[in-house]
Structure 1
Amino acid sequence: MPTLIASVQRALRLLEAAGSHSEGAPAKQLAREAGLPLPTAYHLLRTLTHEGYLRRVRGVFVLGEAAARLAGGGLQQKRRSMILDSLAHFRDAVGAPVYFAVYREGEIEVVGVSDTPTSPACEEWADFRETGHAHAIGQCLLGQLDEKTRKDYYDRHPVEAITPYTVRDLRSLENRIGALGRMQPVIERQEYALGTICAAIPITAGDTVATMAISLPLHQEERLLYVVNRLQSEVGALLSTLSFSISI
């Protein structure tokens, strides 16, 4: 096991050395920078090239697709961590569960949720992606789309009542969406989950269609407007710390 760990450490040093040269570097240079004997470096470079972590181009080694995927995964994780940290901040600021969602590739995607044991998030008992007409998150995202894109969504996810309070037909839903102001919050009461009220605010950031939302138990309805207003006042800080051109 110590020998295996040492081999991994040497391979990582070679990758780091290769990554520091945008135009690539020859084996002798990489061995020197990684502090490895040349035969050891040659062996590891062959293995890393075979596995796709390096490519040999005109006698020099450059990072390969597998290394790029590793780097991309790390960046992806960092972005997700930033989102969750920000949502936790807003959760504490407004005293309610906070959600962040986007409309991407034709579907509603809840990117992150932050809640607490004493103030839990709404349980996803019906797939959020298929029931956008029934919850504030979906209605807010759909309201930011053009008519053609919304129609595509409705064709794949028809409007139907999932609680006694859900909007019952497409015409009623479109009338509601059409009556919304450009940056007006969307509020729904028990349309997705009985005993729960939700509100969502649109997020404008380039081409990204996004929303932040909160949920409350029905008996706390008197807090709703305060919580929504507080969330709106805090959103500017989120936009200043995160990029919403997120590829998660």
Structure 2
Amino acid sequence: MSTWTSTTLIGSVQRALRVLDVVADASRPLTVKAVATRSGLSLGTTYNLVRTLIHEGYLRGDTDGLLLGPRFPALRAQDQHGILLARVREALSQVSDEIGAAAYLSRYQDGEINVVDIVDAASHPRVALWVGIQDSAHATALGKQILATLSPEERLDYLSRHPPADLTQNTISNRRVLLQHLDRVRDAALDRGEYAVGYTCLAVPVQTTDSIAALAISLPADDRRIADLASITDKLRAIAANLSLQLAADRFDE
């Protein structure tokens, strides 16, 4: 008979683990109030637990809410969303800080392209996503980078389900021309006003053995730094490469 009975359990530890579970299972950063609601704990108790977990490195606070911290062990398959989000948010924050542009990450999963997370730069907020990424992949650097990485069969399947449409006068909506364009995309994809007039977007690949994603930035078309896209691309590639290694290591540790 097991000696581990309910009388030997410590309630505060159970509550702290409940908070970690809630954050780990979330696909977006959560506010403390949201964590309290989902965990069934009082707001005061949740605040105290969150402060302690942040201090110990198991959680970290971000402008949009709570994320898993660097000391959180990747032990459960169910924690995959939270770990992914924590890694992605860290990379996007680095992009935003070092390049001074809004940063985005998209991912190809179950046959669809989705935006995982966005981090605004203080001086350059995100482009308004007036058309969902699934129906605008052909017109965005985020989407084009992923489409270019897919196999020809996967690419044709995606475009058959999401036919390219004109979003601006710069959008490539002719399927034959678009496919030729995607064939030329290698380590970086560019969108010059194809999704939103007045913006230039750049994306680079983020790849592991079982994941296809893209890391991107957006800048106003008149930003002087666009004249030196090569330098921006190099910085973005370095951060993307580091993120790829982290995600691959997390998968290996599962």
TM-score, scaled relative to structure 2:
0.66
Query: Is 1:189 paired with 2:192?
Result: yes
* Partner deviation per Cα, 1:182-222 (whole Å, 9 max, x = no partner): xx211110000000011111122112111111111000132
C-alpha separation in 2, matches of 1:126 and 1:29: 54
Alignment correspondent of 2:9: 34
Deviations 1:122-170 (A, max 9, x none): 1101111111111111111011111221121111110111100000310
Q: Residues 35 and 154 (structure 1 numbering): CA distance in 2 closer, same or farther, change over 3 Å? A: closer
Q: Quick one: structure 1 residues 179 and 110, their matched pair in 2 at CA, closer, same or farther if it must change by over 3 Å?
A: same
- Which of the residues 199, 203, 206 maps onto 1:200? 203
Distance 1:96 1:169, change over 3 A: same
> How many angstroms apart in 2 are the aligned matches of 1:83 and 1:241?
10
* Gap runs ≥5 in structure 1: 1-24, 37-70
1:209 — aligned with what? 212
Q: Which residue of 2 aligns with 1:225?
A: 230
The 1-side partners of 2:88 and 2:207 are apart by 16
Amino acid corresponding to residue 33 of structure 1 in structure 2: T
Larger gyration radius, structure 1 or structure 2: 1
What is the letter of the counterpart of residue 224 of structure 1?
A: L
- For the aligned residue pairs, the C-alpha RMSD in angstroms reads 2.5
Number of residue equivalences? 185
| Counterpart AA for 2:214 | T
- Amino acid of the structure 1 residue aligned with 2:89: L
Give the corresponding residue for 2:58.
none
**2:129 aligned with 1:124:** yes
Look up the match of 2:174. 169
Gaps of 5+ in 2: 12-75
Using the aligned pairs only, state the percent identity.
Answer: 27
- Look up the match of 2:239: 234
SS in 2 for 1:83: helix
1:156 is aligned, of 153, 157, 161, to 161
AA at the equivalent of 2:211: T
Task: Look up the match of 1:92.
Answer: 97
Rate the CA distance shift 1:215–1:152 in 2: closer, same or farther, 3 A: same
Amino acid of the residue matched to residue 232 of structure 2? V
